[in-house]
Amino acid sequence: MTKVRIFVTYKQSVFDPQGETIKDAIHTLGHDEVKDVQVGKFFDVTVEGTGKVVEKTIEEIADQLLVNFNMETYKYQVMEEE
Amino acid sequence: MKIAVIVFPGSNCDIDLYEALHSVCHADVEYVSHKEKSLDGFDAVMLPGGFSYGDYLRAGAIARFTNIMPAVTKMAKEGKPVFGTCNGFQILTEVGLLPGALKRNNSQKFVCKTVPLEVVNNQTMFTKQYKEHERIALPIAHADGSYFADEETLDRLEKNHQVVFRYAEENPNGSLRNIAGITNERGNVLGMMPHPERAVEAILGNTDGLRLFKSLLTTGNAKVEE
């Protein structure tokens, strides 16, 4: 079994109004050193198997369902393998 | 012309769409469940507004996987009229029948009001009863209506006259190039965020949507040749 976390965000070129608003709020806290905030979502997925087989599954479900490539991009990381 | 109105779990404008066609336009129209696999015998299909599958994941993303969608895609490929309003538009982009995507409104808020629109292209089977560049007003009611596509796609849409409706004064949601409705390249698939089916009776204060349905109904068994 492998536990994978898939992160989905808007592409850099896509305006993220939530991120902008949160950044403004952070600035009112006095943290002007914060230059960019991007909001996204993540999916924790548990898959049978390990290694390349799992990667293939993750990439397929991201490509075909979890991500809308018109506006979004994704990355993933393996959290646990057993 | 026999028209199917698809009902998804979470559709909430299906009755409005059905009654606009049935009671107001006296068209031959039937509800078709998302569970059905065939649209044989229908000449056109319409996807209503609402919140299919609770807008889980992204608006329209799950409806794409219902039994009926391959039949909708088949009708689109055959050149038959396919129309989606609001959630129907979102589904048409998710299934790939229309380019681009609908993002969360820039305001992050659900917007519900009547907005002025420009009919940019009156040469489609859905808009031929409007005048070119005519100003109309239609209700909008959505949280995810900000049209997004890359620059290349936007240029192509404009070049091919696929932009059919634009927000005319204020832009209520952040849609790029003020886009409110587009067709596919062939012109037989129309998706739009505004609700023409909510503007078909004088007693409700607005009939600007009526000519969209009348345009289509007077096309007869419309079919666009390739």
pLDDT confidence of residue A68? 97
Q: Where exactly are the structural domains of chain A?
A: 2-81
DSSP H helical ranges for chain B: 14-19, 69-77, 87-94, 151-159, 210-217
- A68 reaches B (C-beta below 8 A): yes
pLDDT confidence of residue B55? 94
Enter the ipTM.
0.85
pLDDT confidence of residue B226? 45
Q: How far is A49 from chain B (nearest CA, A)?
A: 25
pLDDT confidence of residue B124? 97
H/E element holding A68? Answer: none
- B103 reaches A (C-beta below 8 A): yes
pLDDT confidence of residue B177? 98
- B93 reaches A (C-beta below 8 A): yes
Q: Maximum Cα–Cα distance for chain B, whole Å?
A: 43
Q: Which chain A residues are closer than 8 Å to B149 by Cβ?
A: 70
A10-65, pLDDT tens digit by residue? 999 899 989 999 999 999 999 999 999 999 999 999 999 999 999 999 999 999 99
- B177 reaches A (C-beta below 8 A): no
- A66 reaches B (C-beta below 8 A): yes
**CB proximity list for A47: less than 8 A, separation 6 or greater:** A1, A2, A3, A4, A54, A57, A58
Record: contact A68-B101, CB cut-off 8 A: yes
- Tell which of A6, A16, A38, A68 to mutate to test the B interface (max B CBs under 10 Å): A68
pLDDT confidence of residue B219? 80
Judge whether B196 and B208 are in contact, CB under 8 Å: yes
CATH of B2-217, one of 3.40.50.880, 3.40.50.1370, 3.40.30.10, 3.60.20.30: 3.40.50.880
pLDDT confidence of residue B225? 46
The structure's pTM equals 0.93
Fold classification of A2-81 (topology level): Mth169; Chain: A , (3.30.1280)
Residues of chain B with pLDDT under 50: 225-226
* Residue in chain B nearest A17 by alpha carbon: B106
Q: How far is B94 from chain A (nearest CA, A)?
A: 8
